[in-house]
């Protein structure tokens, strides 16, 4: 049985950043579609709502900021953990 090593700090930063962006994307698109495209009676409203959510610059800004926040928090926590382990 091989012993697994811990992932490097940069790997954790990338993984958490992508995860935070993915969560923000799903939440923003789901809320936007539910708000704008459901219950109007027009079957095309669903597809229009998806199009609006995918082309809205504010949504992409929030997704980018979520990724940045996830990366920053992971980098800080990883750096502090590394300092504690060395002491």
Sign of the Cα torsion 50, 52, 58, 64 reads positive
60 phi and psi, to 5 degrees? -70, -30
Band (pLDDT 50/70/90 cuts) for residue 39 is low
Question: pLDDT > 70: what percent of the chain?
Answer: 89
* Mean predicted lDDT score pLDDT of the chain: 89
Band (pLDDT 50/70/90 cuts) for residue 14 is very high
Q: How crowded is the C-beta side of 56, counted as CA atoms within 13 Å?
A: 15
What's the pLDDT at 2?
Answer: 66
Rounded-to-integer distance, Cα 71 and Cα 69, Å:
5
> Which residues, other chains included, contact 66 with Cβ-Cβ below 8 Å and sequence gap of 6+?
20, 21, 23, 24
What's the pLDDT at 4?
Answer: 84
Band (pLDDT 50/70/90 cuts) for residue 40 is low
């Amino acid at each position: 049985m091989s012993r697994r090593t811990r992932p490097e700090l940069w790997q954790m930063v990338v993984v958490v950043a992508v995860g935070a962006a993915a969560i923000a994307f799903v939440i923003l698109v789901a809320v936007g579609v539910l708000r704008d495209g459901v219950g109007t009676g027009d079957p095309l409203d669903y597809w229009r709502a998806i199009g609006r959510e995918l082309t809205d610059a504010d949504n992409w800004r929030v997704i980018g900021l979520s990724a940045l926040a996830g990366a920053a928090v992971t980098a800080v926590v990883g750096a502090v953990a590394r300092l504690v382990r060395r002491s």
